Structure 1
């Protein structure tokens, strides 16, 4: 479990309360959790999954592939029934799933991975090609992550693109 607060006294009260009910072990400052590297600075937190991305590339046999500048071709959506069914649908689903987890700190991958996930029920050759197209982009951008900036104010900003 990860606990965080802008108020140290409040955080300590919560930990003390948890200790009355459960066996709690404090592992210190958060550095790595669920395949997410956490770097803390005065400006906030930097979350990345570089190690996880490298593992994905290694497992997919693309650790040494040439980087690509974009994660997806801009041609549009792939038809559901083009091409032959993939030989190993389980491997397709596994690769799509690990890439989906990578989007936690890599929102730049979200659209491309979502397009691949649309075809998990019956993946075909072009769908596998899409997944393999995402991996070279991951190769070239594996150090990218998400910066969560510290703020003294509690401000929520929402954006919508609704037609």
Structure 2
């Protein structure tokens, strides 16, 4: 059994003259992430393998999440392939994971995360919103055999307000 928890980065700001990779989070994004992580803590799922897109908004989301979980930032592995909006690079990354790795948490982007959640989960999501989280479990032993799994839970910030 393996599992993946996908978290879409928090709401980002377009007010700064920076590249897409450098866009920071808005205050609303930070607040929504805190709502989601506070709900996530209740599931008693603590991630062991944490991966983030190198984009500022994704990495900042990851750091806020880990701080709330009391997990040190040095546990984050920044992975270039996760700066992906289509999803194929994320799927390829997952399929190359070590089979000793049982559970992963991935901080990334849309449309990739909505698409992957719909392909591999068993609950349709129209759109994974910013700060949204999806956990999917897989009855596989080898990541190369990634196939449809079971959506364990979805946390949407709007539903927590």
TM-score interval, normalised by the smaller of the two chains:
under 0.3
- Structure with higher Rg: it is 1
Q: Which has the higher strand share?
A: 2
Given the two structures, how large is their TM-score scaled by the length of structure 2? Answer: 0.24
Given the two structures, how large is their TM-score scaled by the length of structure 1? Answer: 0.24
